[in-house]
Amino acid sequence: MKKVKVLQLPIANSRAGITHYSMRNWDSIDRTRFHFDFVTFSKKIDFEDELTKDGCKVHYVSCYAEQNREQFISELKAILSEGYDAIHLHTGYWKNFLVEEIAIEMGIPIIIVHAHSNMVCIDDPDLRQQAVESHEQQKKLFMPEHATHFLACAKSAAEWLYGPQIPKEKIRILKNAINTEKFAFNPKVREEYREKLGLKDSFVIGHVGRFAYQKNHEMLIEIFAKVSKEIPHAKLMLIGNGEGLDSIKEMVSTLGLEERVLFLGLQSDIEVPKLMQAMDIFCLPSRFGGLDLVLVETQTSGLKCIVSDIMPEEAKITGNIQFLPLDIDAWYEAIVEVSKGYTRTDCKDIVASAGYSLENQIHELERIYSGQE
């Protein structure tokens, strides 16, 4: 039987965000029926060997459309000429609809646009504002004819990307589902990893995410600097990489917190669930975002979570999550309160019953990719 050939666009040289979502789907989909290839704008994908050994191809595109339109069109057409049945476009905000238009021209049967965020992730405030204004103008031009399927991780992401011209009944909210068993609370693994990392008697504050403007690591460090004075045994565990890593390391050094902050870098999908077991609280002071996968994962593991109040209400799956404004004192008080102790329990059944079972979502994607829905 001929496999359904799906192109995922884009992935980056990280295991976070959209890349994490695409990789997780590849790990879980029925590979006897479906084949994935990937497009990246990164110069290098460190985990490319993992994909090629599974038979996947990673297509490198040398420029964005706004940098060199003709070159971009030429490269994308060459990729699409390899005969894809579906293209899954993971989108944060609009610059243009060139990929959609080329996919239509090339006769790709299934064109999926998938909203993953609710703001522009650019550090510079002037450039960010320009991008927001451009996005809002482009959004008015986006029409139902540009795609066959319109997905979003949350209602706020759908509203941000699609606007009123895409009928609500055409938009499908596809929850950021996970393998709940993989993230279930495991006291044995917790003890093992706290011993391994020298955290046996520590109160561990955790964060998983790319070092970028959106994730607001600067505020997290300021919060931790204050918490560390109140809780001498507090440690901060940071998992991820990104363009802002060096500046955060410099900030930590300036504050004299080098011995209290663990920079663990990029971790595999096998290690991240185990490292979450070692945490005592998870903090996500993002400036904006959709429903992050990491919030589903941490709640499954029974962790207390404190997140910024810009996160969508759908993020509240268990009773272990607290939404706060981006105010350092409020976060400090909430973290200190959690440090007094709580009973951590396995929440995988709660998360699964709320519709975040990866098995169910993968079946939904399989039906979309194969043209059954």
Measure the CA–CA gap between 203 and 8, rounded to whole angstroms. 39
User: Concatenated DSSP letters for 12-77?
Assistant: -SSSSHHHHHHHHHHHHS-TTTEEEEEEE-SS--TTHHHHHTTT--EEE--S-TTT-HHHHHHHHH
Residue spans of the domains in the chain: they are 4-177+357-370, 180-354
Fold of 180-354: Rossmann fold (3.40.50)
Sequence-ordered list of residues with C-beta below 8 angstroms from that of 251, at least 6 positions apart, any chain: 218, 221
Measure the CA–CA gap between 281 and 306, rounded to whole angstroms. 8
Tokens of 289: 């975002």
Tens-binned pLDDT, residue by residue, of the chain (373 aa)? 899 999 999 999 887 789 989 998 999 999 999 999 999 999 999 999 999 999 999 999 999 999 999 999 999 999 999 999 999 999 999 999 999 999 999 999 999 999 988 888 787 889 989 999 999 999 999 999 999 999 998 888 899 999 898 999 999 999 888 999 999 999 999 999 999 999 999 999 999 998 988 899 999 999 999 999 999 999 999 999 988 999 999 999 999 999 999 999 989 888 999 999 999 999 999 998 767 889 999 999 999 999 999 888 888 999 999 999 999 999 999 999 999 999 999 999 999 999 898 888 899 999 999 999 8
Q: How many CB atoms lie within 10 A of CB 164?
A: 9
Q: What number does CATH give the domain 4-177+357-370?
A: 3.40.50.2000
* pTM for the whole structure: 0.83
The position carrying tokens 């009773």 is 319
Torsion of CA 356, 360, 364, 367, to 10 degrees: 170
Q: How many CB atoms lie within 10 A of CB 220?
A: 23
